[in-house]
Amino acid sequence: MATRELRVNHQIRIPEVQVIDQDGKQLGVMKTFDALRLAKDRDLDLVEVSPMAQPPIAKIMDYGKYMYTKSKEEKARPKVKEQQTKAVRVGFKTGIHDLTFKAKKADEFLNEGHWVKVELTLRGREKAFAQKGLEQLESFLTKISVPFTRQRDPMRGPYGWVIVIQKDKRVKPAAPTTTNE
């Protein structure tokens, strides 16, 4: 996230500004020329911090130091991995081997920190056996080896059953065991 550019010193073209000194004390509304002179007397910069206020707010500060600390703060922020929702689609008549393969794929997605949307599709006359489809969805969820939590109960959609799961953060991974042989 980039910092927005602030107007500094002679870039401020507003006739009057509300001035705050380097200690945060309100100096009141004054002409921009006088505020610039005051900042120059203190060997500091006049920075317009709130241009949309009436009158705009300008602060007397060391602009270089301000920008340096802002960039340090941005670099210090932890990098947040973007979370996505991955989908795993299972059919009503999907074979056991395919179900285990798709369960392993769901395990990978959960271990990467993504949410997984499991869809059990019902086609044609299969829609008449919706309850049996729900049972099949539940049995597929038992094949997933990574502990997970359900975002909500399975929902009936236009094409079958849908459930969204995410990795259970409360369960700690088991420590690797070493044998001394």
For tokens 């500091």, name the residue.
44
Its pTM stands at 0.51
Q: What is the pLDDT of residue 1?
A: 41
Residue 40 lies in a domain: yes
Q: Are 69 and 57 in contact (CB under 8 A)?
A: no
Residues 94, 67, single domain; the answer is no
| H or E segment and range at residue 58 | strand 57-61
More confident position, 1 or 144: 144
Domain of residue 135, CATH code: 3.30.110.10
Shortest CA distance to 88 belongs to which of 97, 77, 79, 101?
101
Q: Which domain holds residue 31?
A: 7-76
Closest CA to 120 of 108, 104, 103, 107: 103
**Chain centroid to CA 21:** 36
Among the candidates 26, 41, 76, a domain finishes at 76
Could you tell me if residue 11 is inside a domain? Answer: yes
Average pLDDT value for residue range 131-143: 90
Q: List, edge to edge, every strand of the sheet that includes 26-31.
A: 7-8, 45-50, 57-61, 16-20, 26-31
User: What pLDDT score does 161 carry?
Assistant: 92
pLDDT in tens, 11-64: 888 889 899 888 888 888 998 888 889 888 888 988 888 888 888 899 999 888
User: Do 67 and 89 belong to one domain?
Assistant: no
Q: Is the pLDDT of residue 2 over 50?
A: no
